[in-house]
Every structure is written in C-alpha cells, then in structure tokens.
C-alpha cells in the first residue's frame, strides 16, 4: 500500500489546503463531514492506482470537486437511504463518484448501482489496490497515525 501511495505522490505527514474544495462543495449544497475533510487533507489530489496484478484494474482519484460537485442530490439520496451524512470523496475507477460517510464507510455510485468499497477508508484503499478489504494490523496502525480518529 505504501508503494502505491508513494507512486501517487503521497508522503508521510502530507497535508494540503482544502478550503477551496470546502467552499465549492458547500456552495453546491453538500453538508460536509469530518471524515471527508480529513481524507482530502491527507490524500487530496492523488490518483491512487491498483497493483498490476489486480484484475480488473482500479483507481481512486481523491478530488471531490472534479468528481462530485454536481451530485448533491445523489449524496442526499445516500443520506436518506442510510441515515448518515455522505460527503464526496472523488472518483473510483475513472467513472464512478465515490462518497465517504461520517462513520468512514466508503461507497461508489454508478447508474442504478452502489458499490460498498469498504467500511473504513483503509478498507476502501485496500479494495482499490488489491481487490480485497482485509486489512492487516500494520496497515491499521499506519492509518491511525495518518488520520487520528478514523
């Protein structure tokens, strides 16, 4: 996982300004949650690609404005269906908007289909990279250090 994140441009302690995204998404009608803003801060702007052995290939582009600025109604539908606030995360596999719930659960939405990518952001990353959501203890410790409280 660290190799894939490094290849995407991530470094330990990476923090980016998210004020522009926050303003644009709020203006578009989104009620943002802390889980989303935390992931944007650490991984925003990255295109994280799966390992070459994963078939089919997968990716996660963390850019909420590019992926979801016009999907406030879709996020509202997720909220009504699951009774939880979903904020935009980015684009999964180049074509499906992805959202992160206040609890950290990540989903992707396509025409008439919803893919659960993971019950946590780490599980979603693991799924994107390996096609599996099994998280080993080292990865769990690593994410706890990157995103306290997630």
Query: Coil, helix or strand for 20?
Result: helix
- The pLDDT tens digits of the residues spanning 72-110 come to 888 888 999 999 999 999 999 888 999 999 999 999 998
CA distances for 48 relative to 10, 57, 81, 147, 149, angstroms: 9, 11, 29, 17, 22
pTM for the structure as a whole:
0.84
The CA-CA-CA angle for residues 64, 86, 99, to 5°, reads 45
The 10 Å Cβ neighbour count of residue 34 is 14
DSSP state letter for 119 = S
Total number of domains in the chain: 1
What is the rounded CA–CA span in Å between residue 33 and residue 62? Answer: 15
Instruction: Tell me if 35 sits within 8 A of 87, measured CB to CB.
Output: yes
Alpha helices in the chain (DSSP H): 2-8, 19-27, 34-43, 64-68, 72-82, 121-130, 137-146
Confidence tier at 149 by pLDDT (50, 70, 90): very low
Cα atoms in the Cβ-side hemisphere of radius 13 Å centred on 110: 9
CATH number of the domain enclosing 95: 3.40.1580
Cis peptide bond upstream of 75, omega within 30: no
- Enclosing domain of residue 95: 2-146
- Report pLDDT digits (tens) over 11-27: 988 999 999 999 999 99
């Amino acid at each position: 996982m660290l190799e894939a994140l490094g290849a995407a441009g991530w470094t330990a302690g990476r923090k980016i300004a998210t004020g522009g995204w926050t303003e644009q998404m709020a203006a578009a009608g989104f009620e943002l949650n802390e889980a989303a803003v935390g992931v944007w801060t650490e991984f925003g702007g990255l295109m994280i690609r799966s390992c070459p052995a994963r078939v089919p290939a997968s990716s996660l582009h963390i850019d909420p404005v590019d992926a979801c600025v016009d999907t406030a109604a879709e996020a509202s539908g997720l909220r009504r269906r699951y009774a939880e606030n979903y904020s935009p995360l980015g684009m999964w596999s180049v074509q499906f908007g992805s959202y992160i719930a206040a609890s950290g659960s990540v989903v992707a939405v396509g025409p008439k289909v919803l893919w659960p990518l993971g019950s946590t952001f780490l599980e979603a990353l693991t799924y994107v990279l390996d096609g599996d959501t099994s998280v080993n203890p080292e990865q769990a410790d690593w994410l706890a250090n990157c995103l306290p409280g997630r």
